[in-house]
Structure 1
């Protein structure tokens, strides 16, 4: 009888920093019932990948689940794949961390399941050609990528079955294409559609195989899928169909198939991920351009997608400055950790206990979810970003303690690799990172004892999917009808009138940004970022000097322009920053009229603070404040701003409108504080204002 192999697998993962109740919900609604379903069909062979993050959680909360998986491994019913332990984008890591992440998960699988994994799950299927050698060097025999990778090479869809081989510097690894048609059909369409596709690939010798390997969360955790998959019985029907057709459908472990089926040939894939990822990496205008081009080919859109596609994963590092900040912080800490860890080796030449702790913290800080944004919240979720910073700061703390770093250090480095140097102030209590070429701004403030970056806010940007929100409202707030859909096809809104809160910032949100406001500016205008800026200081270059006398200081200065109607004045803005005690900093502004007649200017210094939750829904006005403070019980701290003389202040929540698997949602990113005052300046006259920002226990 003609036969075909079906290589069916699931990938289970929860990110570093996700809430424990989310782990439990995923376990109850997806991971456990899926395993129970597979147990009811012992003839079906399948494949499983779970990240080290999830295995650790299961060990602590549901070790019986792991025991049940182990029994299936012993019975040769399921194959376990390795990967990066903390689910990093491997191609974005230094090579030493690529190897460390893979080896850590491989070692866990060997120890816990008494088996050596042969295949690797590639996070988000982000492929770059150099990975072939990395995988080969770490004894990985195969990995899986999307069929879109292969289609970009000019291959036809009918060729996308079985396995191929690629190489880098003569080091080979097998690649299996995951079929998009199966990803979208399972578990959303009738099981008969899968059978129809499989029948196209039957042969007398059964050497062909179709692969479907996708997120385990789609089997119960994604919106509306629990009822569909389990209560309505979709998964049981699907597995029963496979079972009843076992005479011609061989559900196989991937390694079993590869052991008897040679690769179809060589293939060299471009840098890519699944098609949707390529769209998400593009700026919003480019996303619309791509969509327009595809709409121009309605009858052969799928063919057009082989040649019309978006960018690749690293483009997120140019699309979002905050993503790049995380990535470059990771590279900065990785270099520091490995320099020190190499000195802390045991007698067996393996990392010592201290070295392994700092490596584990570093690797946990490489979990990919907070580094990018697509249909899941990702980068837009502040608790995920903060969790990454917490791990990276912990790794940095452990590294510094190992070599007894006690002094403050000021360095000039191109930290974010934009071709210009930043100023990094590092000390045991805190890190302060400044950008002279972007307004002399403070863009990272690490409270190291708490593992918190208090500058971890997110700028409001236009997103390609914001158009969907407008279209949704035009339909009266009603979603398009249809059955259960994939998260790529659904439109939901979690609260009304979100489109009224959709604002865009024209500069990156940071602290010590220097504004000169138009006289007509109202608080609501500034909140919306739709106001008149009369100066040219916010995004401009400042010179910087460091002094090392009794008290270390940084002095940023710029002579710029302020326009008031037809009148232009040249103003010197000088801000001197010192740090302590022991966690905090002081800024002293001197603003001088160096060119032009007498003028009255409305000066404001903007600060952005990333608190764990918001305490106000609306913008607030404060007159003649001597101090502004906020208690954050979630982070276990109080932040206080004490002014040398009373200042007027505005504050408001910085909120984004983004898309997640649950729908469009409003997310608190931090609090904006603007300290502002009218200043009258005669020619040559200067005014001075200063304040101290301090972190103390709550």
Structure 2
């Protein structure tokens, strides 16, 4: 038995970080990697470099490219292609797949004079429709988790040799990627070598491709005092091995291959890309789990994905201005970075919030590029925006977007183009503006102390029916019905939205449809995303309550007889002012994000936004109604 072993890694930088972080990453990871590879001439290596990484290196460390060019010239290094902004390919449209792949191919060919033949798939995220897109781009092979190959059920396909994949008459070769060794430094050179030699002794030749995580680079390539590095000890062990081990690269590997087995690999992703290494019995299931599972697990990520799909449609509809269309399309591509659509352990973190805020910024810049001055006109579009089989109302004005969902009758997206922010995007799963509630009088004491009631309410989970829509005036009128309390008293709520560039006016008419008196608390909830500004400046709240002006940070508090409340977002310098025709009582709750510092058990807390509850005590006789109007003013 002989073993063909390919080693490599993927180099990328996360968007939204400070330049000093990129420099630190370069000095700790990429510089030691390349300098050691340059000296280890006998070690063939494979490298994937994302587009943003290439851009940053070109501006800050062009000497990096000189070393790569020399190693390519001596056939030591192979550079893979793929998506320019490292997207999960199954999540994006076919045109974006081709566009991102061609953009990275062009960049690599420009820098190194050679076109890549292979592609890197983040998390081995796969869909058979990718074959056609890769063939269009001239990609001949790709790396895929070996578990996805060996669980396909086809004869001879065991994850130890290349496999030919076909779709609609087009083919691409999948090379088995062994993700068990992503953290290769955890193994000693001897234990890794023993694991390779025990792979499958009944075969004449096996293929093992290991792409270790970039965080493993220091542990593999840094030598300690008085001893050699991990990789040097491994190369020394190979020379003493009883079984022939040939170090090679994917491109060289395919030049000497006999005809491959054929297989059909359905939608899936690497089971080792999940937060914890799964138990063996789960591997087959996880390998057949679509990467879109990340969307279903988070309402916030699903909303971002819906926005990306919608803006992609808008960009594709641009005609007659190629430069405008190209600019808009590249902004969409920037929003497709794979880690944006993934939550570690399904929990929001400050890092995930930064990525999502940046993605919304890119998408709003793309959307603005599609609006031609003099042609665009304000409108209300009725469409199934978030792909839940229910139509939403998209009010699109010159300066803002307001998207209304009939589930709960709330605004679930508030885009301000002057600062490219969605102020409804918070870390809580079902955030929005003007979320309606009706509680019993028992909730009044809790709300007055700044505590959320734990009882079920009436309207927040109701489906609102359209009563009328005026596209010229940008008005929508909705209505819903519900029952309240142990007596199941029927009541109804009419809700009229009036949209303007300066803000939103919402009129409520609550009616008691029961023969009995209705007593309770009517509440409307507004959730805002607030982000720290420069020098970690905190969001601020100003409340004019009981004829006294009160200023504070975002803390849990309750106020009575509120004339107005003002929220300041220090990141964008936007101010949101809330008023009502009848002074409400107000409860304020901060939205907190918790995170752990690497290597520490202590949690740090960060303000991510604020939940504002406006509430009024309601006493209605049978067939009587009450009217409340709330104004939200935006100043950016």
TM-score range, shorter chain: 0.7 to 0.9
Measured in 2, the distance between the counterparts of 1:116 and 1:321 equals: 40
1:162 Cα deviation after fit? 3.2
1:229 Cα deviation after fit? 5.6
Match of residue 397 from structure 2:
427
Matched, 1:644 2:575: no
1:75-115 per-position Cα deviation (integer Å, ceiling 9, x unaligned)? 32211111111111111111111111111111110111111
Match of residue 620 from structure 1:
557
Are residues 198 and 538 of structure 1, via their aligned partners in 2, closer, same or farther at CA, if it must alter by over 3 Å? same
Q: 532, 543, 546: which is aligned to 2:465?
A: 543
Q: 414, 432, 441: which is aligned to 1:445?
A: 414
Residue pair 1:161, 1:177 contacting (<8 A) in 2 also: yes
SS at match of 2:317: helix
Match of residue 214 from structure 2:
216
1:523 Cα deviation after fit? 4.7
1:1-20 per-position Cα deviation (integer Å, ceiling 9, x unaligned)? x7532111101222333443
Residue pair 2:147, 2:287 contacting (<8 A) in 1 also: no
Residue pair 1:82, 1:119 contacting (<8 A) in 2 also: yes
Bigger mean CA deviation after superposition, 522-531 or 97-106: 522-531
SS at match of 1:149: helix
1:393-422 per-position Cα deviation (integer Å, ceiling 9, x unaligned)? 100101113x64442110110111111100
Residue pair 1:10, 1:48 contacting (<8 A) in 2 also: yes
Match of residue 607 from structure 1:
526
Are residues 317 and 670 of structure 1, via their aligned partners in 2, closer, same or farther at CA, if it must alter by over 3 Å? same
**Cα RMSD between the aligned structures?**
3.2
Measured in 2, the distance between the counterparts of 1:181 and 1:200 equals: 15
Are residues 640 and 408 of structure 1, via their aligned partners in 2, closer, same or farther at CA, if it must alter by over 3 Å? same
Where in structure 2 are the equivalents of 1:79-228 lying within 5 Å? 79-154=78-153, 159-184=158-183, 186-200=184-198, 207-220=205-218
Matched, 1:392 2:360: no
Residue pair 1:4, 1:201 contacting (<8 A) in 2 also: no
Residue pair 1:369, 1:378 contacting (<8 A) in 2 also: no
Where in structure 2 are the equivalents of 1:43-62 lying within 5 Å? 43-62=42-61
Match of residue 288 from structure 1:
none
* TM-score relative to the length of structure 2: 0.88
Measured in 2, the distance between the counterparts of 1:369 and 1:197 equals: 31
Residue pair 1:361, 1:395 contacting (<8 A) in 2 also: yes
Measured in 2, the distance between the counterparts of 1:379 and 1:156 equals: 44
Residue pair 1:643, 1:692 contacting (<8 A) in 2 also: yes
Bigger mean CA deviation after superposition, 89-98 or 193-202: 193-202
Matched, 1:516 2:494: no
Measured in 1, the distance between the counterparts of 2:289 and 2:203 equals: 40
Residue pair 1:277, 1:313 contacting (<8 A) in 2 also: no
SS at match of 2:522: strand
1:357 Cα deviation after fit? 1.1
Are residues 308 and 362 of structure 1, via their aligned partners in 2, closer, same or farther at CA, if it must alter by over 3 Å? closer
Measured in 2, the distance between the counterparts of 1:526 and 1:213 equals: 55
Measured in 1, the distance between the counterparts of 2:116 and 2:378 equals: 46
Match of residue 489 from structure 2:
569
Measured in 1, the distance between the counterparts of 2:263 and 2:226 equals: 40
Residue pair 1:375, 1:661 contacting (<8 A) in 2 also: no
1:435 Cα deviation after fit? 0.6
Match of residue 384 from structure 2:
414
Are residues 183 and 652 of structure 1, via their aligned partners in 2, closer, same or farther at CA, if it must alter by over 3 Å? same
1:123 Cα deviation after fit? 1.8
Measured in 2, the distance between the counterparts of 1:435 and 1:447 equals: 18
Bigger mean CA deviation after superposition, 82-91 or 519-528: 519-528
SS at match of 2:336: coil
Measured in 2, the distance between the counterparts of 1:358 and 1:561 equals: 47
Residue pair 1:610, 1:669 contacting (<8 A) in 2 also: yes
Match of residue 498 from structure 1:
none
Residue pair 1:12, 1:217 contacting (<8 A) in 2 also: no
1:638 Cα deviation after fit? 1.6
SS at match of 1:71: helix
Higher strand proportion: 2
Where in structure 2 are the equivalents of 1:249-260 lying within 5 Å? 249-260=245-256
SS at match of 2:583: strand
Bigger mean CA deviation after superposition, 511-520 or 440-449: 511-520
1:423-461 per-position Cα deviation (integer Å, ceiling 9, x unaligned)? 11012201111111x11011011111211001111335x
How many aligned residue pairs are there?
611
Structure 2 portions without partners, runs of 5+: 533-537, 540-552
Match of residue 459 from structure 1:
428
Structure 1 portions without partners, runs of 5+: 281-290, 295-300, 345-351, 461-507
Measured in 2, the distance between the counterparts of 1:202 and 1:151 equals: 13
Match of residue 268 from structure 1:
264
1:512-541 per-position Cα deviation (integer Å, ceiling 9, x unaligned)? 1111123333558998866113x4211111
SS at match of 2:263: coil
1:35 Cα deviation after fit? 1.7
Residue pair 2:554, 2:610 contacting (<8 A) in 1 also: no
Are residues 127 and 387 of structure 1, via their aligned partners in 2, closer, same or farther at CA, if it must alter by over 3 Å? same
Are residues 198 and 313 of structure 1, via their aligned partners in 2, closer, same or farther at CA, if it must alter by over 3 Å? same
Are residues 181 and 314 of structure 1, via their aligned partners in 2, closer, same or farther at CA, if it must alter by over 3 Å? closer
Where in structure 2 are the equivalents of 1:346-385 lying within 5 Å? 352-375=322-345, 381-385=352-356
Match of residue 545 from structure 2:
none
1:389 Cα deviation after fit? 0.6
Matched, 1:77 2:76: yes
Match of residue 322 from structure 1:
300
1:244 Cα deviation after fit? 6.0
Measured in 2, the distance between the counterparts of 1:558 and 1:662 equals: 51
Matched, 1:343 2:320: yes
1:263 Cα deviation after fit? 4.9
Bigger mean CA deviation after superposition, 126-135 or 54-63: 54-63
Measured in 2, the distance between the counterparts of 1:655 and 1:205 equals: 56
Measured in 1, the distance between the counterparts of 2:559 and 2:448 equals: 16
* TM-score relative to the length of structure 1: 0.80
Are residues 234 and 587 of structure 1, via their aligned partners in 2, closer, same or farther at CA, if it must alter by over 3 Å? farther
1:376 Cα deviation after fit? 8.9
Match of residue 455 from structure 2:
532
